[in-house]
Structure 1
Amino acid sequence: MRRIRYAAGFRLPEEHRSWVQHDLTDAGWRGRILARHLALMVPLCVLLGLLPAEWGIRVAVAVLALLGSTFVVVINFSDIRQARLRQHGLPVPDDPQRGHPPH
């Protein structure tokens, strides 16, 4: 249940702080964010595909939701990570792709 709550954006208890730091700062953090997003969105897209409509429209709505939300997550990887680190009271590292914050 905690993994689902964490994937949905909720804060984990303090005893999981080191795990959250590892999850958001070690190599592969982008892949883990994307995997959590897909784990939430794929079942939602299946539900969207069950809405009453022609099959082409149902598929188009589900695919559009999945591709659109995935695009938003990918272009906001750094912002999502920074928000999650702040949410758990962890230091936010400088992101070399975005430059250094102003002094």
Structure 2
Amino acid sequence: MGRQRPGPLRWIRYVYGARLPDRYREWVLHDATAKTWLIRFAIRICFEALPWLAAAFVLVVTLTPIPVPLLLTGLALSLFLGLFFTLTSADELAEVRLGKHGFPRGTGKKVRAEHGRPATWP
């Protein structure tokens, strides 16, 4: 049957940690082991951070006289730092996501290594 990709609403739920139905199991494995797994992971983290960054922007603009360019710089820096610290645990977080979908611990690293990709990052 192949990999069935979740629709936009299911993907958003997946980004925030929801377990997808079993029919998406192979897609989840692909998501955590593809050549682009780390880029996919980073995109999910950015997408997950967007509502928080937008809320922080509105709150700070409303309550303080901080210039918008300075605020945007601060928010970009916070996104960068959050992304950096999350990416340092990307392989473990991918394993947790795979485990949530029924795969045994170590599956992501094993599959990436079998395909000649780095099993971990950095």
Aligned length: 98
2: CA distance between counterparts of 1:97 and 1:24?
11
The reply on whether 1:89 has 2:98 as its aligned counterpart is no
1: CA distance between counterparts of 2:93 and 2:34?
15
Gaps of 5+ in 1: 99-103
2: CA distance between counterparts of 1:50 and 1:16?
36
The reply on whether 1:80 has 2:77 as its aligned counterpart is no
Partner residue in 1 for 2:65 = 54
CA RMSD of aligned residues (A): 2.1
TM norm structure 2 = 0.68
- Structure 2 residue matching 1:50: 3-state secondary structure: helix
TM norm structure 1 = 0.79
1: CA distance between counterparts of 2:44 and 2:22?
21
Partner residue in 2 for 1:71 = 84
Q: Spell out structure 1 runs of 4+ moving beyond 2 A.
A: 54-65, 93-98
2: CA distance between counterparts of 1:49 and 1:59?
8
1: CA distance between counterparts of 2:85 and 2:18?
19
**Percent of matched pairs sharing the same residue:** 29
* Counterpart selection for 1:26 from 34, 41, 50: 34
